[in-house]
Amino acid sequence: MTTQQVWKKYADDVKHFILSRVKDTTVTDDLLQETFIKVHTKLHTLNDITKLKSWIFTIARNTMMDYFKNTNQTVELKNFEVQTDIKEHEHTEKDCLRGILQSLPKKYRNPLFLSDIKGLKQQEVADTLQQNLPTTKSQIQRARKLIAQGFIDCCGFSLNEEGKLVGEIQDKEDCKVCK
């Protein structure tokens, strides 16, 4: 399938998805374009065409999250759940993440949970855990690195030149953490 065919089939749906979260047509158009640039450059890496729709919406969601992060805007993560036709038994990044998080040492898991899931500021996390701020910051950064390493070890992801995880989720039987 070519990028043009993908655009014709999914662009309107992706645009509505982005607009429903961003609420700004100019930003929506920019994010839609950025999403399809990523689709165009990585379309050849998609092994299973039946996962195309969920793959595109994942790219769109991640593009929006990057936008919100870069503009220092906050958004509730539950608003980013994508409704697609994914089968219940399909192996996903969530399966891997769950296993990776469970394997994190508690001293890294707790600060990460309070910071990245609960949304507490790092100073609040330090106060809650009754430790100093540099220790807390170090533990959160170490936890994030361990998660990235977990995806590399578990599912064969790799880091690109910018230090971001890239790759495709492996089948469950190939996964070292989720088996």
Compute and round to an integer the Cα radius of gyration of the chain.
18
In tens, the pLDDT along 22-43 reads: 888 999 999 999 999 999 998 8
Helix (H) or strand (E) holding 166: strand 165-166
**Do 100 and 147 form a contact (C-beta atoms < 8 A)?**
yes
Which two three-digit tokens encode residue 173? 């039987």
Q: Which residues of the chain have pLDDT under 50?
A: 77-78, 84-89
How many other β-carbons are positioned within 10 Å of the β-carbon of residue 169? Answer: 23
The pLDDT assigned to 11 comes to 92
C-alpha triplet 15, 20, 37: angle, nearest 5°: 30
In tens, the pLDDT along 60-71 reads: 998 988 888 887
C-alpha span between 11 and 13 (Å, rounded): 6
Quickly tell me which residue has 């038994």 as its tokens: 89
Angle, nearest 10°, between helix axes 93-103 and 133-155?
130
